[in-house]
Structure 1
Amino acid sequence: MAPSAMSGSSAHDDIDGTWSYLQDGITKIMLNLQDGVDLRTYMGIYTAVHNFCTSQKATGFTTPGNNTLGPGAAHRGGGYISVNTPHLLGEDLYKKLTDYLTDHLRGLLTESKAHTDEALLAFYIREWRRYTVAAKYIHHLFRYLNRHWVKREMDEGKKSIYDVYTLHLVRWRDVLFQEVSSKVMDAVLKLVEKQRNGETIEYNQIKQVVESFVSLGLDESDPTKTTLDVYRYHFERPFLEATTAFYKAESKQFVAENSVVEYMKKAEARLDEEEERVKIYLHPDIAVPLKKVCNQALIAEHSNILRDEFQVLLDNDREEDMARMYSLLSRIPDGLDPLRSKFEAHVRKAGLAAVAKVAADADKLEPKVYVDALLEIHTQYQGLVKRAFNDEAEFTRSLDNACREFVNRNEVCKSGSNKSPELLAKYTDILLRKSSTGVEETELENTLAQIMTVFKYIEDKDVFQKFYSRMLARRLVHSNSSSDDAETSMISKLKEACGFEYTNKLQRMFQDMQISKDLNTGFKEHMSSLGVKGLDSSYSILGTGFWPLTPPGTTFNPPQEIAADCERFSRFYRNKHEGRKLTWLWQLCKGEVKTNYIRNAKMPYTFQVSIYQMAVLLLFNDKEKNTYEEIASTTQLNSESLDPSLGILVKAKVVNVSPEGEKVGPGTAYTLNHDFKNKKFRVNLNVGMKSETKQEEVETNKTIEEDRKLLLQSAIVRIMKARKKMKHQQLVSECINQIRTRFVPKVADIKKCIEILLDKEYLERLDDDELGYLA
């Protein structure tokens, strides 16, 4: 049985007796807990603690009548009342337990001196586990002490008082841990180094040491809370120092003996190992600082040799190694900046080389060959960015910068700054025109998407627009588009890239073609109702403000059959739209004539001709021979239009020229070639001359310059109207910002436009280099 706590003068004897009983039970728990604690002993200890803490020592003062009251003292009517104060003896018991734990731990400290390295580690873990399990039992047995005396002391703000379990941890920390922690940590670090060197270790030991160090992190200001201070100082700090030293030494030696690529593989493996180490037996709190020291020792210390190797990897397309380098250098601050710069320079150089390879003669350069050369470089390095550089935004920006450079400033562009957008527009025209080689719809859509990739990099987007709109006009007028869906898809892409205004006129051109279809249907019905059988013809009404077309540069007297049909359509149109004026674009008209004069022909040939060629050929219905002067007089065509038309007929041997071998021109005569032969029975003679194409390019470029001046002037007026007053330099900068999506304006051109607007009195000069808006 547990001794009962006694009161009175035997209190001192009582604490010794009670503690003697308790100590036996505590020692049994401390040393032989594996045998268990029987219920009798458990209840005996618990009861002894309870009784001892509630024992009272009677002290008092006697009054007449010897009345006794409870706690508290009062003075009444000149007499005294005695006071009975319960004396909580918890402090004595707490001190006894503290002294016991101190002695126990000093004994363990002495034992520990007999062990080193892994043996010390095993000893520490074994004793820690035994000690903390015992602490939980003892904490429960002293629950009454915790609930009353300890709680009261803590509530009063005493910093050196803890609950019984925490007291165990504090004593372990202050008596044993402070003395052995560095040796235990040395043993841990030796184990880790063994593992880093490829040996197998019992890592659970390290895990338990970590848990021990974390458990000892007690917040002195609030014993109910824990911190990681002990763990960080005694475990994390030396662990990180040892890690830094290990990898500095190892990496220095490895780099000296191996290639950079091999080193990257080694560093990558080491970093993976450390991450795994955190997962298996280290505390999660160490993950970030551990990664930082590893990155410093393994990557930052050798970043220069890694970056120097990057160009070699680029030159040899070592994609896997570039991905590895990207992964490593992305771990350190600003590690990738030099790589991005080298990548940009490399792509720009590759692009310029690819263009130079195909640009032997810029004037004869096939648009497809040029665009494919640009796309090949972009596709190659876009794939590299995705696969090796994780599709990172900054590397994508470097790629875009490089592509913008070699697309706009290359060998081909030296012959004219507008060459890239012009060739891109021509390639688009080739794709969207009807051709004998049918292109699958899906393939065409993919190619158009690739064209938009190049378009994105073009600075002079207005140049593309001009050439594209001219070529679209020809496709629509000559019904030469591969499909309406493809045309619509391309315009949608341009609209998405540049906005509604950029494609507004292109869309209006489509609307005009639809309106023209309806007009032709109405015209045929009208002719049928009148009983008039006209030519099999169709007409397109093209709005002057939307189509990039100009009136013909020559007078023309159409053949009688054509003129009569045109007059009938004109009357029909004027009846529908009174007051509108029609201007005939003869240079765009075409038709077919059927032959019945050719000897030995299996079937009649059909010639596809321009309206000018048709006028020339129909003259031979009346005369077998026509001179150049007669043809010119009848058709009213000038030499610039007549000569190319006749020249094609002569070259195709549809007509013979005399004197034989003479060039087309005054003094020559022409007869039909009755022995004409061709593999095809439908022969296309409506072929544009190179001189015409060249002239059209010159006119287009001239139009671009004029449009740019107007665009700049309108931008300046728009800015000044909003701002009223503005410094000259600010106006130039703002104008560049507004216009650069269409083209990159030259400062000199902006200044010229400002001068024009000053002369026109849209703007005025103010003091201090300031301009003002005149309403």
Structure 2
Amino acid sequence: MSQQSFPIASDLNATWSFIQPGLEFILGAQGDQGVTSKMYMNCYTAIYNYCTTKSRNSPNTGASSHSMIGGSSNNSSYSLAGAEIYSKLDDYLVSYISGLKKSPNESFLEFYVKKWTRFTIGAGYMNNVFDYMNRYWVQKERSDGRRDIFDVNTLSLLKWKFNMFNNNANQLISEVLELIEKQRNNEIVETNLISVAIKSLVFLGIDVQDLKKPNLVVYIKHFEQDFLNSTADYYSKESINFLSQHNVVDYMKKCETRLAEEISRSNNYLEDHTKKLLLETLNKVLIKDHAQEMYNQFLGLLEQNEIDHIQRMYKLLSRVPSTLTPLADTFEKYIKEEAAKAIEEIKKSSDNSVESKTEGNAAAGTGAKVTRRAASGAINPKTYIHTLVNIYYKFREIIVAAFDKDPFFIKSLDNACAHFVNNNSIALPTPKSPCKTPDLLAKYADGFLKATGKEQETADMNADHLMVVLKFVNDKDAFEEHYRRLLAKRLIHSNTKSDELEEGIIQRLQDENSLEYTSKMTKMFQDMKASGDLKTHVKDQLGDNNYIKDFTPLVLAQSMWPFNYSEDYELKLAPELLPAFNKVEEVYTKQHNGRQLQWLWNHGRSEVKANLSRKGKPPFIFTVTNSQLVILLAFNKKKSYTLKELHDIVGTARHTFEAHLLPFTKYKLLDQLPPEPDAFTKDDTVFTIVDEYKSKKLKVSFVSSIKTEQKQEEDDANKEIDESRKNYLSASIVRIMKARKKMKHNELMNDVLLQAQSRFRAKIIDIKRVIDFLIEKEYIRRCDNDSYEYLA
């Protein structure tokens, strides 16, 4: 094509004859030989000349009537030309595409991909060749509403779709899916064929109403569903076959490999729309359909601590969230069972220990009552709490390592812990007994907070373990009561390891619960500080003329401390003690006029220097109760007393006096005459202080062996807890009713249960009793239709 051979610009047939050979080269009709730059420019120029020349002529030159800009036919009229050459191109593309034939030695897919690739390249160049027509005539037609007119590139793709793809879609997709299956079977295939063929479906999804809008209708209709169905069928058969010959662990590894392969392949040739559906299909046939087989192996893997395999199972099942529920339920059930076994072992070990003591007691001729008492307190708090903590830590580590800290499994662990902490053979020996875990937890805390010489026994006890178990305790109010009682004993006996440690625990309890939860404990420390100041004032006023070398009076607010006044301990103070105690009352009364003091003699402790050792050796230091102190001071006046004389001197209730006297005879500080056990409680039995006390220790405590009212203390604690709960429920009901004025019974019950949940698990029967109490006191009244009304 030379510059001189250009056709007459207004001659359509001449122009088309001039450019057609160039279009052949552009579209690849001449094999691999492409178009030269000169040929390309000649085609472009010829089309440009035709369109511009025709547009200057009248409408009668063949331009579409839609393109006319004036109604007259004189030389000044102007319209955009392009309809005739556009029609020529349309016919040519149909003819060209219909004439494409595959060679005998190639598959249709190979033929399609080769021709499509060349055709789309050519269409791009051809679009540039017809650039002038695209920019003016095509654009004008489409702006006028013609949706059957397209730019040349789009027109080319549409002709390909109607004349090539539509006629061969089934065969093309079938061969694509065959190739994908071969690839899954690890056969070597040309992946480019798959990729190009699938991408062509995307390009052919043209929205004629909006050419710029992405459209996957062809891709979805002809490929996506067939692909997903074939994938499901393939992996369904493979998974069933594989599981029939391999174990579940191997199957899970196979699943991981297959999923990785499919994800890699999908990134190469699938649209994002299909990727999600593909994963859903794979997850169903590979995981969900075989979840039961995995569940069946889960317990075995847990028992063998196969963390890697458990993690593999979790990662697979987590792809289908609904399949995790049975796994989490099994996990929770397993934790409960393991906890029950571990706690049962403690109980058996404790029972065996008690039986051994029973046999020893029987041999020594002691009674069965001691055995029952030993059995009731036989559980070691440290062993029990550490067992609970170890179970928690063990399964928390599994959650971190195998379940990726999944909140679903954390909840299962929390549910299991809440169950076995509050409901086990030790915590609830009988269904109606109060849970013993709060009491044992408080005793555990007392073990490492109390000053003791046995540091090695408490080295592994700490506040972290305390807080872990407390988190799951239902009756936190019961723990608070038991903890406060033991704290009170540590404080009044100056038996705390350190104030900083004590206050640190209280701060953590406050952070985990509320300021109200620890308010009484905080006030107890304030009382101890105030008592220290009182001690200083009293000591300064007494001076050195005091029989007592050192003493610490403790003034404690009755409402904050868990101590009750008892007439059984109405002690007659020895004359030697009176000056100090009178001075305390005098100083305190001056500071706080109108306050009444009640001495709780049963809670005091004293150290007495006793010159009863062998000559030349230092004196003994006896730790005694206040009642025992008065008994011993009496022996400074004479060596022997009858039981009645001693009781008159001490003044407490008879059974209390005898309980405090018994350790002196038991540990041979006092000789009893007559010595028979039955004579101990007779008025005329004589008790004489020994001249020389036989003990290898210089410090001897007579306090620990007193048959204290442990049962009474436990009853007092339970009574206090019950009373506190009644008050809490009463306040909650009044508060709720005051705000709501009128409520249905069930609504009120639910609100009260919800409010009480942070402190304790309220029982329905207790709430009903409190409601009856408030009705009786006229805070609320019962209305018809099962509701209550607040009375102002």
After TM superposition, the score normalised by the length of structure 1 is 0.90
Alignment of 1:594-605 (within 5 A): 594-600=609-615, 602-605=617-620
> How far does residue 662 in structure 1 lie from its aligned partner after superposition?
3.4
**Amino acid in the other structure paired with 2:98:** R
- Per-residue deviation, 1:5: 5.4
**Corresponding residue SS for 1:411:** coil
Residue 429 of structure 1 is matched in structure 2 by 446
1:578 is aligned to 593
Could you say which residue in structure 2 is the equivalent of 1:698?
715
Q: CA deviation at 1:512?
A: 0.8
The question of 1:115 aligning with 2:106 is answered yes
Q: In structure 1, what residue type is equivalent to 2:767?
A: I
What is the 5 A alignment of 1:553-572?
A: 553-572=568-587
Distance 1:564 1:87 in 2: 129
SS in 1 for 2:320: coil
Deviation of residue 395 (structure 1)?
2.4
- The aligned counterpart of 2:421 is 407
Distance in 2, Cα, partners of 1:311 & 1:747: 37
Q: Distance in 2 between matches of 1:72 and 1:525?
A: 123
Which amino acid is 2:565 matched to? P
Q: CA deviation at 1:727?
A: 3.3
Deviations 1:379-418 (A, max 9, x none): 2223323332332223222322222222222212124223
Who is 1:371 aligned against? Answer: 385
Instruction: Please state if 1:23 is matched with 2:23.
Output: no
Q: Where does residue 78 of structure 1 map in the other structure? A: none
Q: Are the equivalent residues in 2 in contact too, given 1:60–1:83 (CA < 8 A)?
A: no
Encode CA deviations 1:49-103: one digit per residue, 9 max, x unaligned. 1111122486699xxxxxxxx98577xxxxxx95554565422211222222222
Deviations 1:98-140, CA, capped at 9 Å, x for gaps: 22222222232x2256522xxx444333322222222222211
Q: Which residue of 2 aligns with 1:394?
A: 408
For the Cα contact (< 8 Å) 2:659–2:707, is it kept in 1? no
Secondary structure class of the residue paired with 2:408: helix
What code does the residue aligned with 2:501 have?
A: A
Q: Is the 8 Å Cα contact of residues 205 and 216 (structure 2) preserved in structure 1?
A: yes
**Residues 606 and 682 in structure 1, CA contact (< 8 A), matched pair in contact too:** yes
How far is 1:513 from its partner?
A: 0.9
Structure 1 window deviating more from structure 2 (474-483 vs 488-497): it is: 488-497
1:294 aligned residue: 282
Once residues 393 and 214 of structure 1 are traced to their aligned partners in structure 2, the CA distance between those partners, rounded to angstroms, is 41
Change (3 A) 1:58 1:243: closer
Q: Are the equivalent residues in 2 in contact too, given 1:303–1:335 (CA < 8 A)?
A: yes
Q: Which runs of 5+ in 2 are unaligned?
A: 61-67, 352-374
Q: Which 10-residue stretch deviates more, 135-144 or 751-760?
A: 751-760
1:176 & 1:400 partners in 2: Cα distance?
A: 63
Q: 2:83 is matched with which residue?
A: 91
Tell me the equivalent position of 1:285: 273
Q: For structure 1, which segment, 756-765 or 628-637, has the greater mean C-alpha deviation from structure 2 after superposition?
A: 756-765
Q: Which residue pairs with 1:467 in the alignment?
A: 482
Percent identity of the aligned residues? Answer: 36
The counterpart of 1:417, out of the listed 434, 437, 450, is: 434
2:369: which partner in 1? none
Is the 1:736–1:745 contact (alpha carbons within 8 Å) kept by the matching residues of 2?
A: yes
Q: CA offset at residue 474 of structure 1?
A: 0.4
Q: Distance in 1 between matches of 2:597 and 2:298?
A: 66
Partner of residue 689, structure 1: 706
The 1:171–1:59 alpha-carbon spacing in structure 2 relative to 1, beyond 3 Å, is closer
Distance 1:30-1:570 versus aligned 2 partners, 3 A rule? same
Please point out which of 172, 177, 202 is paired with 1:184. 172
Structure 1 residues 724 and 96: alpha-carbon distance in aligned structure 2, compared to 1, 3 A threshold: closer
Q: Quick one: which of 765, 768, 771 aligns to 1:748?
A: 765
Cα gap change, 1:357/1:690 in structure 2, threshold over 3 Å: closer, same or farther?
A: farther
Task: Quote the Cα distance in structure 1 between the aligned partners of 2:180 and 2:497.
Answer: 71
The one-letter code matched in structure 1 to 2:218 is V
- The worse-fitting range, judged by mean Cα deviation, of 335-344 and 291-300 is 335-344
Alpha-carbon distance change, 510 to 744 in structure 1, aligned in 2, over 3 angstroms: same
Aligned partner letter, 2:276: V
> Which residue number in structure 2 is paired with residue 665 of structure 1?
681
SS at 1:334 equivalent: helix
CA distance in 1, matches of 2:668, 2:271: 93
Contact 1:662–1:668 (8 Å) recurs in 2: no
* C-alpha contact 1:434 1:481 (8 A) present in aligned 2: yes
Match for residue 54 of structure 1 among 43, 52, 61? 52
Report the Cα offset of residue 495 of structure 1: 1.8
Runs of 5+ consecutive residues of structure 1 not aligned to the other structure: 62-69, 75-80
Partners of 2:71 and 2:728 in 1: CA distance:
103
Instruction: Measure the CA separation in 2 of the matches of 1:274 and 1:73.
Output: 63
Query: Which residue of structure 2 lines up, in the alignment, with residue 100 of structure 1?
Result: 92
Distance 1:494 1:257 in 2: 56
Are the aligned partners of 1:71 and 1:84 in contact in 2 as well (CA < 8 Å)? no
Question: Structure 2 matches for 1:104-503, cutoff 5 A?
Answer: 104-108=96-100, 110-111=101-102, 115-116=106-107, 120-332=108-320, 334-360=322-348, 361=351, 363=376, 364-412=378-426, 413-415=428-430, 416-438=433-455, 447-503=462-518
- Contact conserved, 1:71 with 1:83, CA < 8 A, in 2? no
Q: Return the offset for 1:519.
A: 2.2
Distance 1:122 1:409, change over 3 A: same
Is the counterpart of residue 618 in structure 1 residue 609 in structure 2? Answer: no
Q: Are the equivalent residues in 2 in contact too, given 1:53–1:145 (CA < 8 A)?
A: yes
**In 2, Cα distance between equivalents of 1:59 and 1:696:** 117
Contact 1:558 1:635 in 2 (8 A): yes
Amino acid of the structure 2 residue aligned with 1:17: A
Cα distance between partner residues in 1 of 2:745 and 2:690: 70
Bigger drift between 227-236 and 685-694 goes to 685-694
Q: Cα 1:329–1:472, aligned 2, differ >3 Å: closer, same or farther?
A: same
Q: Match of 1:672, as an amino acid?
A: I
Change (3 A) 1:151 1:458: same
Partners of 2:542 and 2:580 within 8 A in 1: no
Rounded Cα–Cα distance in structure 1 between residues aligned with 2:592 and 2:650 = 30
Residue pair 1:408, 1:417 contacting (<8 A) in 2 also: no
The offset of 1:281, in angstroms, is 3.8
Q: 3-state SS of the aligned residue for 1:278?
A: helix
Q: Is 1:538 the counterpart of 2:530 in the alignment?
A: no
In 2, Cα distance between the equivalents of 1:606 and 1:82? 137
Q: Is contact 2:206-2:215 (8 Å) kept?
A: yes
Separation in structure 2 between the aligned mates of residue 210 and residue 522 of structure 1, nearest angstrom = 97
Q: How many angstroms apart in 1 are the aligned matches of 2:763 and 2:192?
A: 72
| Aligned partner letter, 2:760 | F
**Counterpart contact for 1:574–1:580, Cα < 8 Å:** yes
AA paired with 1:55? T
CA RMSD of aligned residues (A): 2.8
Inter-partner Cα distance in structure 1 for 2:233 and 2:697: 85
**C-alpha distance in 2, partners of 1:516/1:321?**
62
In 2: Cα distance, 1:768 partner to 1:28 partner: 93
Q: Distance in 2 between matches of 1:662 and 1:440?
A: 37
Q: Which amino acid aligns with 2:84?
A: D
Query: Would you say the 8 A contact 1:656–1:671 is kept in 2?
Result: yes
Which stretch of the first structure deviates more once superposed, 736-745 or 564-573?
A: 736-745
Q: 1:695 to 1:23 in 2, by over 3 A?
A: same
Pick closer, same or farther for the CA change 1:611–1:30 going to 2, 3 Å.
same
Residues 245 and 634 of structure 1: CA distance in aligned 2, closer, same or farther (over 3 Å): same
Is the contact made by 2:641 and 2:686 (CA closer than 8 Å) also made in structure 1? yes
Partner of 1:504: 519
Matched residue type, 1:355: I
Partner of 1:628: 643
Hey, what does 2:63 align to over in structure 1? none
Query: Number of residue pairs matched?
Result: 749
Which residue type is aligned with residue 129 of structure 1?
A: T
* CA offsets 1:468-500 (integer angstroms, 9 cap, x no match): 111110011111112222212222222233322
CA contact (8 A) 1:60 1:82 kept: no
